[in-house]
Structure 1
Protein backbone atom coordinates (compact mmCIF):
# COMPACT_ATOMS: atom_id res chain seq x y z
CA UNK A 1 0.00 0.00 0.00
CA UNK A 2 2.79 2.42 0.94
CA UNK A 3 4.55 1.55 -2.32
CA UNK A 4 1.44 2.58 -4.29
CA UNK A 5 1.41 5.96 -2.56
CA UNK A 6 5.07 6.53 -3.47
CA UNK A 7 4.45 5.62 -7.12
CA UNK A 8 1.42 7.91 -7.26
CA UNK A 9 3.44 10.71 -5.71
CA UNK A 10 6.25 10.26 -8.24
CA UNK A 11 3.75 10.20 -11.14
CA UNK A 12 1.98 13.32 -9.89
CA UNK A 13 5.29 15.14 -9.47
CA UNK A 14 6.44 14.06 -12.92
CA UNK A 15 3.17 15.10 -14.53
CA UNK A 16 3.36 18.54 -12.89
CA UNK A 17 7.05 19.16 -13.56
CA UNK A 18 7.09 17.80 -17.13
CA UNK A 19 4.06 19.91 -17.96
CA UNK A 20 5.53 23.02 -16.35
CA UNK A 21 9.18 22.75 -17.50
CA UNK A 22 9.22 20.00 -20.12
CA UNK A 23 10.85 16.60 -19.95
CA UNK A 24 14.31 17.79 -20.99
CA UNK A 25 14.53 20.52 -18.34
CA UNK A 26 13.29 18.37 -15.44
CA UNK A 27 15.88 16.40 -13.49
CA UNK A 28 15.46 13.27 -11.40
CA UNK A 29 16.59 15.33 -8.41
CA UNK A 30 13.67 17.72 -8.97
CA UNK A 31 11.24 14.82 -9.40
CA UNK A 32 12.40 13.24 -6.12
CA UNK A 33 12.30 16.56 -4.27
CA UNK A 34 8.76 17.36 -5.47
CA UNK A 35 7.60 13.82 -4.54
CA UNK A 36 9.29 14.25 -1.15
CA UNK A 37 11.36 11.11 -1.53
CA UNK A 38 15.04 10.28 -1.83
CA UNK A 39 16.58 9.99 -5.27
CA UNK A 40 17.34 6.31 -4.50
CA UNK A 41 13.63 5.75 -3.82
CA UNK A 42 12.82 7.20 -7.23
CA UNK A 43 15.22 4.74 -8.87
CA UNK A 44 13.77 1.89 -6.83
CA UNK A 45 10.46 2.42 -8.63
CA UNK A 46 11.59 3.80 -12.00
CA UNK A 47 14.96 2.89 -13.50
CA UNK A 48 15.11 6.14 -15.50
CA UNK A 49 13.44 9.46 -16.12
CA UNK A 50 12.31 8.06 -19.47
CA UNK A 51 10.34 5.30 -17.72
CA UNK A 52 8.43 7.73 -15.52
CA UNK A 53 7.67 9.81 -18.61
CA UNK A 54 6.33 6.70 -20.30
CA UNK A 55 4.19 5.79 -17.30
CA UNK A 56 2.74 9.30 -17.05
CA UNK A 57 2.00 9.55 -20.79
CA UNK A 58 0.40 6.11 -20.98
CA UNK A 59 -1.75 6.77 -17.90
CA UNK A 60 -2.93 10.05 -19.41
CA UNK A 61 -3.60 8.53 -22.83
CA UNK A 62 -5.32 5.44 -21.35
CA UNK A 63 -7.70 7.62 -19.32
CA UNK A 64 -8.51 9.75 -22.33
CA UNK A 65 -9.01 6.78 -24.68
CA UNK A 66 -11.55 5.28 -22.26
CA UNK A 67 -13.30 8.63 -21.95
CA UNK A 68 -13.36 9.10 -25.74
CA UNK A 69 -14.73 5.60 -26.34
CA UNK A 70 -17.46 6.08 -23.74
CA UNK A 71 -18.49 9.50 -25.08
CA UNK A 72 -18.49 8.41 -28.73
CA UNK A 73 -20.84 5.49 -28.08
CA UNK A 74 -23.80 7.57 -29.20
CA UNK A 75 -22.42 8.25 -32.71
CA UNK A 76 -24.90 7.53 -35.49
CA UNK A 77 -22.93 4.91 -37.36
CA UNK A 78 -19.76 2.84 -37.08
CA UNK A 79 -17.93 4.90 -39.71
CA UNK A 80 -18.53 8.16 -37.82
CA UNK A 81 -17.71 6.47 -34.52
CA UNK A 82 -14.36 5.17 -35.80
CA UNK A 83 -13.40 8.44 -37.52
CA UNK A 84 -14.25 10.59 -34.51
CA UNK A 85 -12.52 8.22 -32.10
CA UNK A 86 -9.31 8.05 -34.16
CA UNK A 87 -9.29 11.84 -34.61
CA UNK A 88 -9.82 12.54 -30.90
CA UNK A 89 -7.22 10.00 -29.80
CA UNK A 90 -4.75 11.43 -32.34
CA UNK A 91 -5.28 14.91 -30.95
CA UNK A 92 -4.84 13.71 -27.37
CA UNK A 93 -1.62 11.90 -28.29
CA UNK A 94 -0.21 14.92 -30.12
CA UNK A 95 -1.19 17.26 -27.30
CA UNK A 96 0.25 15.10 -24.53
CA UNK A 97 3.57 14.73 -26.38
CA UNK A 98 3.65 18.48 -26.95
CA UNK A 99 2.80 19.34 -23.34
CA UNK A 100 5.01 16.84 -21.53
CA UNK A 101 7.96 16.44 -23.87
CA UNK A 102 7.92 19.13 -26.54
CA UNK A 103 8.15 18.38 -30.24
CA UNK A 104 11.32 20.45 -30.67
CA UNK A 105 13.13 18.16 -28.24
CA UNK A 106 11.66 15.06 -29.90
CA UNK A 107 12.74 16.20 -33.37
CA UNK A 108 16.29 16.98 -32.26
CA UNK A 109 17.12 14.09 -29.94
CA UNK A 110 18.00 10.59 -31.14
CA UNK A 111 17.04 9.21 -27.70
CA UNK A 112 13.68 10.96 -27.86
CA UNK A 113 12.98 9.51 -31.29
CA UNK A 114 13.76 6.01 -30.06
CA UNK A 115 11.51 6.65 -27.08
CA UNK A 116 8.77 7.93 -29.36
CA UNK A 117 8.87 4.63 -31.27
CA UNK A 118 8.29 2.77 -28.00
CA UNK A 119 5.46 5.13 -27.09
CA UNK A 120 3.98 4.72 -30.56
CA UNK A 121 4.04 0.92 -30.31
CA UNK A 122 2.49 0.97 -26.83
CA UNK A 123 -0.16 3.42 -28.00
CA UNK A 124 -0.98 1.13 -30.92
CA UNK A 125 -1.38 -1.83 -28.54
CA UNK A 126 -3.53 0.24 -26.14
CA UNK A 127 -5.84 1.42 -28.94
CA UNK A 128 -6.16 -2.00 -30.52
CA UNK A 129 -7.03 -3.68 -27.23
CA UNK A 130 -9.44 -0.86 -26.29
CA UNK A 131 -11.16 -1.09 -29.68
CA UNK A 132 -11.41 -4.88 -29.53
CA UNK A 133 -12.95 -4.71 -26.04
CA UNK A 134 -15.45 -2.07 -27.17
CA UNK A 135 -18.77 -3.74 -28.08
CA UNK A 136 -19.52 -1.35 -30.95
CA UNK A 137 -16.16 -1.91 -32.65
CA UNK A 138 -14.83 -5.26 -31.45
CA UNK A 139 -17.79 -7.32 -32.60
CA UNK A 140 -18.06 -5.59 -35.98
CA UNK A 141 -14.57 -4.94 -37.33
CA UNK A 142 -11.93 -7.68 -37.72
CA UNK A 143 -8.72 -7.17 -35.74
CA UNK A 144 -6.47 -6.97 -38.82
CA UNK A 145 -8.59 -4.11 -40.22
CA UNK A 146 -8.50 -2.26 -36.90
CA UNK A 147 -4.73 -2.73 -36.89
CA UNK A 148 -4.58 -1.21 -40.39
CA UNK A 149 -6.64 1.82 -39.32
CA UNK A 150 -4.67 2.42 -36.12
CA UNK A 151 -1.21 1.95 -37.71
CA UNK A 152 -2.04 4.14 -40.70
CA UNK A 153 -3.57 6.92 -38.62
CA UNK A 154 -0.77 6.83 -36.06
CA UNK A 155 1.96 6.97 -38.73
CA UNK A 156 0.30 9.90 -40.51
CA UNK A 157 -0.23 11.91 -37.33
CA UNK A 158 3.32 11.30 -36.08
CA UNK A 159 4.76 12.18 -39.49
CA UNK A 160 3.08 15.57 -39.59
CA UNK A 161 3.99 16.21 -35.96
CA UNK A 162 7.63 15.80 -36.97
CA UNK A 163 7.35 18.04 -40.03
CA UNK A 164 5.11 20.83 -38.72
CA UNK A 165 6.94 24.04 -37.87
CA UNK A 166 4.16 26.00 -36.17
CA UNK A 167 0.92 25.29 -34.32
CA UNK A 168 -0.90 26.66 -37.39
CA UNK A 169 0.79 23.93 -39.47
CA UNK A 170 -0.37 21.32 -36.98
CA UNK A 171 -3.97 22.57 -37.09
CA UNK A 172 -3.86 22.60 -40.89
CA UNK A 173 -2.49 19.05 -40.93
CA UNK A 174 -5.17 17.81 -38.52
CA UNK A 175 -7.89 19.37 -40.69
CA UNK A 176 -6.38 17.80 -43.79
CA UNK A 177 -6.13 14.43 -42.01
CA UNK A 178 -9.74 14.68 -40.83
CA UNK A 179 -11.23 15.71 -44.17
CA UNK A 180 -8.97 14.21 -46.82
CA UNK A 181 -7.35 11.09 -45.36
CA UNK A 182 -9.28 9.68 -42.40
CA UNK A 183 -12.58 9.08 -44.25
CA UNK A 184 -10.74 6.86 -46.77
CA UNK A 185 -8.89 4.98 -44.04
CA UNK A 186 -12.18 4.30 -42.23
CA UNK A 187 -13.86 3.30 -45.50
CA UNK A 188 -11.03 0.85 -46.28
CA UNK A 189 -11.31 -0.54 -42.73
CA UNK A 190 -15.02 -1.19 -43.06
CA UNK A 191 -14.96 -2.78 -46.54
Structure 2
Protein backbone atom coordinates (compact mmCIF):
# COMPACT_ATOMS: atom_id res chain seq x y z
CA UNK A 1 0.00 0.00 0.00
CA UNK A 2 1.18 3.52 -0.81
CA UNK A 3 2.84 5.40 2.08
CA UNK A 4 0.60 8.46 1.62
CA UNK A 5 -2.51 6.27 1.82
CA UNK A 6 -1.25 4.60 5.01
CA UNK A 7 -0.40 7.95 6.64
CA UNK A 8 -3.77 9.40 5.65
CA UNK A 9 -5.60 6.35 7.03
CA UNK A 10 -3.73 6.65 10.32
CA UNK A 11 -4.50 10.38 10.52
CA UNK A 12 -8.16 9.81 9.69
CA UNK A 13 -8.42 7.11 12.34
CA UNK A 14 -6.65 9.27 14.90
CA UNK A 15 -8.92 12.21 14.14
CA UNK A 16 -12.02 10.05 14.64
CA UNK A 17 -10.81 8.24 17.76
CA UNK A 18 -9.31 11.29 19.49
CA UNK A 19 -12.54 13.17 18.89
CA UNK A 20 -14.71 10.29 20.10
CA UNK A 21 -12.67 9.14 23.13
CA UNK A 22 -10.07 11.85 23.68
CA UNK A 23 -6.33 11.65 23.31
CA UNK A 24 -5.67 10.19 26.74
CA UNK A 25 -8.17 7.32 26.35
CA UNK A 26 -7.06 6.27 22.86
CA UNK A 27 -4.24 3.75 22.63
CA UNK A 28 -1.78 3.16 19.80
CA UNK A 29 -3.23 -0.36 19.49
CA UNK A 30 -6.68 1.14 18.87
CA UNK A 31 -5.28 3.63 16.37
CA UNK A 32 -3.48 0.91 14.40
CA UNK A 33 -6.49 -1.41 14.47
CA UNK A 34 -8.90 1.32 13.35
CA UNK A 35 -6.50 2.28 10.49
CA UNK A 36 -6.15 -1.40 9.47
CA UNK A 37 -2.38 -1.37 9.92
CA UNK A 38 -0.01 -3.26 12.17
CA UNK A 39 1.28 -1.50 15.27
CA UNK A 40 4.79 -1.65 13.73
CA UNK A 41 3.47 0.13 10.64
CA UNK A 42 1.98 2.83 12.84
CA UNK A 43 5.36 3.34 14.55
CA UNK A 44 7.14 3.35 11.19
CA UNK A 45 5.23 6.52 10.29
CA UNK A 46 4.66 8.08 13.72
CA UNK A 47 7.14 7.31 16.48
CA UNK A 48 4.63 8.22 19.22
CA UNK A 49 0.98 8.88 19.88
CA UNK A 50 1.94 12.50 20.57
CA UNK A 51 3.29 12.89 17.02
CA UNK A 52 0.09 11.64 15.40
CA UNK A 53 -1.88 14.02 17.63
CA UNK A 54 0.33 16.86 16.50
CA UNK A 55 -0.07 15.96 12.83
CA UNK A 56 -3.85 15.72 13.16
CA UNK A 57 -4.14 19.04 15.03
CA UNK A 58 -1.89 20.93 12.65
CA UNK A 59 -3.67 19.52 9.57
CA UNK A 60 -7.06 20.41 11.02
CA UNK A 61 -6.01 23.91 12.04
CA UNK A 62 -4.27 24.57 8.70
CA UNK A 63 -7.35 23.49 6.73
CA UNK A 64 -9.55 25.79 8.81
CA UNK A 65 -7.13 28.73 8.71
CA UNK A 66 -6.95 28.53 4.91
CA UNK A 67 -10.74 28.41 4.75
CA UNK A 68 -11.09 31.36 7.13
CA UNK A 69 -8.52 33.44 5.25
CA UNK A 70 -10.18 32.79 1.91
CA UNK A 71 -13.60 34.01 3.04
CA UNK A 72 -14.82 37.58 2.99
CA UNK A 73 -11.62 38.87 1.39
CA UNK A 74 -12.17 42.37 0.09
CA UNK A 75 -15.70 42.59 1.48
CA UNK A 76 -14.65 44.67 4.48
CA UNK A 77 -11.93 47.02 5.64
CA UNK A 78 -8.62 45.53 6.81
CA UNK A 79 -9.28 46.25 10.51
CA UNK A 80 -12.60 44.35 10.47
CA UNK A 81 -11.19 41.54 8.33
CA UNK A 82 -8.20 41.09 10.64
CA UNK A 83 -10.32 41.16 13.82
CA UNK A 84 -12.84 38.65 12.44
CA UNK A 85 -10.07 36.42 11.14
CA UNK A 86 -8.16 36.39 14.45
CA UNK A 87 -11.38 35.69 16.37
CA UNK A 88 -12.39 32.80 14.10
CA UNK A 89 -8.87 31.29 14.12
CA UNK A 90 -8.77 31.61 17.92
CA UNK A 91 -12.08 29.80 18.26
CA UNK A 92 -10.94 27.01 15.94
CA UNK A 93 -7.71 26.59 17.90
CA UNK A 94 -9.47 26.47 21.26
CA UNK A 95 -12.16 24.10 20.00
CA UNK A 96 -9.80 21.66 18.32
CA UNK A 97 -7.63 21.41 21.43
CA UNK A 98 -10.74 20.86 23.53
CA UNK A 99 -12.16 18.22 21.18
CA UNK A 100 -9.00 16.24 20.47
CA UNK A 101 -7.04 16.52 23.70
CA UNK A 102 -9.32 17.87 26.39
CA UNK A 103 -8.30 20.77 28.60
CA UNK A 104 -8.69 18.72 31.78
CA UNK A 105 -5.94 16.39 30.58
CA UNK A 106 -3.73 19.33 29.61
CA UNK A 107 -4.17 20.97 33.03
CA UNK A 108 -3.30 17.76 34.87
CA UNK A 109 -0.45 16.30 32.83
CA UNK A 110 3.15 17.53 32.92
CA UNK A 111 3.77 15.92 29.51
CA UNK A 112 0.74 17.74 28.13
CA UNK A 113 2.20 21.05 29.32
CA UNK A 114 5.38 20.40 27.33
CA UNK A 115 3.33 19.35 24.32
CA UNK A 116 1.17 22.47 24.58
CA UNK A 117 4.32 24.62 24.32
CA UNK A 118 5.36 22.80 21.12
CA UNK A 119 1.83 23.10 19.73
CA UNK A 120 1.76 26.79 20.62
CA UNK A 121 5.04 27.48 18.83
CA UNK A 122 4.05 25.48 15.74
CA UNK A 123 0.63 27.12 15.69
CA UNK A 124 2.24 30.54 15.83
CA UNK A 125 4.48 29.66 12.87
CA UNK A 126 1.54 28.26 10.88
CA UNK A 127 -0.61 31.33 11.51
CA UNK A 128 2.17 33.77 10.77
CA UNK A 129 3.10 32.10 7.48
CA UNK A 130 -0.59 31.82 6.47
CA UNK A 131 -1.22 35.49 7.25
CA UNK A 132 1.92 36.62 5.41
CA UNK A 133 0.92 34.62 2.32
CA UNK A 134 -2.59 36.11 2.36
CA UNK A 135 -2.69 38.98 -0.16
CA UNK A 136 -5.12 41.07 1.90
CA UNK A 137 -3.03 40.91 5.07
CA UNK A 138 0.55 40.09 4.06
CA UNK A 139 0.89 42.91 1.55
CA UNK A 140 -0.19 45.57 4.05
CA UNK A 141 0.83 44.50 7.56
CA UNK A 142 4.53 44.08 8.41
CA UNK A 143 5.64 40.68 9.71
CA UNK A 144 6.69 42.00 13.14
CA UNK A 145 3.24 43.53 13.66
CA UNK A 146 1.53 40.28 12.61
CA UNK A 147 3.82 38.40 15.00
CA UNK A 148 2.71 40.74 17.82
CA UNK A 149 -0.98 40.21 17.02
CA UNK A 150 -0.71 36.44 16.70
CA UNK A 151 1.42 35.99 19.86
CA UNK A 152 -0.89 38.15 21.97
CA UNK A 153 -4.07 36.54 20.66
CA UNK A 154 -2.68 33.02 21.01
CA UNK A 155 -1.52 33.64 24.60
CA UNK A 156 -4.87 35.13 25.59
CA UNK A 157 -6.83 32.24 24.08
CA UNK A 158 -4.60 29.58 25.65
CA UNK A 159 -5.06 31.32 29.00
CA UNK A 160 -8.82 30.68 28.65
CA UNK A 161 -8.16 26.98 29.00
CA UNK A 162 -6.39 27.43 32.30
CA UNK A 163 -8.79 29.94 33.85
CA UNK A 164 -12.19 28.72 32.62
CA UNK A 165 -14.13 26.33 34.80
CA UNK A 166 -17.10 25.83 32.47
CA UNK A 167 -18.17 26.33 28.86
CA UNK A 168 -20.03 29.43 30.01
CA UNK A 169 -16.72 30.86 31.28
CA UNK A 170 -15.14 30.20 27.89
CA UNK A 171 -17.99 31.98 26.09
CA UNK A 172 -17.60 34.97 28.45
CA UNK A 173 -13.85 34.99 27.86
CA UNK A 174 -14.30 35.00 24.07
CA UNK A 175 -16.88 37.81 24.29
CA UNK A 176 -14.49 39.82 26.45
CA UNK A 177 -11.62 39.07 24.06
CA UNK A 178 -13.73 40.15 21.06
CA UNK A 179 -15.06 43.36 22.60
CA UNK A 180 -12.43 44.52 25.08
CA UNK A 181 -9.05 43.25 23.86
CA UNK A 182 -9.08 42.37 20.15
CA UNK A 183 -9.96 45.88 18.88
CA UNK A 184 -6.93 47.29 20.73
CA UNK A 185 -4.62 44.54 19.49
CA UNK A 186 -5.75 45.08 15.89
CA UNK A 187 -5.42 48.87 16.26
CA UNK A 188 -1.87 48.48 17.59
CA UNK A 189 -1.06 46.09 14.74
CA UNK A 190 -2.27 48.52 12.07
CA UNK A 191 -0.57 51.65 13.46
Instruction: Flag whether TM exceeds 0.5 (same fold).
Output: yes
The count of corresponding residues between Structure 1 and Structure 2 is: 191
Work out the CA distance in 2 between the residues paired with 1:10 and 1:165: 33
Aligned to 1:110: 110
Aligned residue in 1 for 2:133: 133
The C-alpha deviation readout for 1:60-104, integer Å capped at 9, x for no partner, is 000000000001314411100110000000000000000000000
2:33 alignment counterpart? 33
Q: Is the 8 A contact 1:72 1:85 kept in 2?
A: no
1:61-100 counterparts in 2 under 5 A? 61-100=61-100
Structure 2 SS opposite 1:72:
coil
Inter-partner Cα distance in structure 2 for 1:52 and 1:162: 24
Q: Is the 8 A contact 2:74 2:136 kept in 1?
A: no
8 Å contact from structure 2 (residues 32, 39) kept in 1 = yes
Partner of 1:42: 42
CA–CA distance in structure 2, aligned partners of residues 142 and 109 of structure 1: 37
* CA contact 2:19–2:100 (8 Å) conserved in 1: yes
Aligned to 1:55: 55
Would the aligned equivalents of 1:24 and 1:101 in 2 still touch at CA under 8 Å? yes
TM-score normalised by L of structure 2:
0.98
Q: Which runs of 5+ in 2 are unaligned?
A: none
Structure-1-length-normalised TM-score: 0.98
Moved over 3 A (4+): none
Q: For the residues of structure 2 that align with 1:180 and 1:121, how far apart are their CA atoms?
A: 25
Q: Which runs of 5+ in 1 are unaligned?
A: none
In structure 1, C-alpha distance between the alignment counterparts of 2:38 and 2:135, rounded to whole Å? 45
Counterpart residue number, 2:170: 170
User: How far, CA to CA, are the matches of 2:119 and 2:136 in structure 1?
Assistant: 26
- RMSD over aligned Cα, in angstroms? 0.8
**Contact 1:72–1:84 (Cα < 8 Å) also in 2:** no
1:73 aligned counterpart, secondary structure: coil
How far the C-alpha of 1:163 sits from its partner, in A, is 1.0
Instruction: Find the aligned partners of 1:141 and 1:76 in 2 and give their Cα distance.
Output: 16
Distance 1:33 1:149 in 2: 42
CA distance in 1, matches of 2:162, 2:114: 13
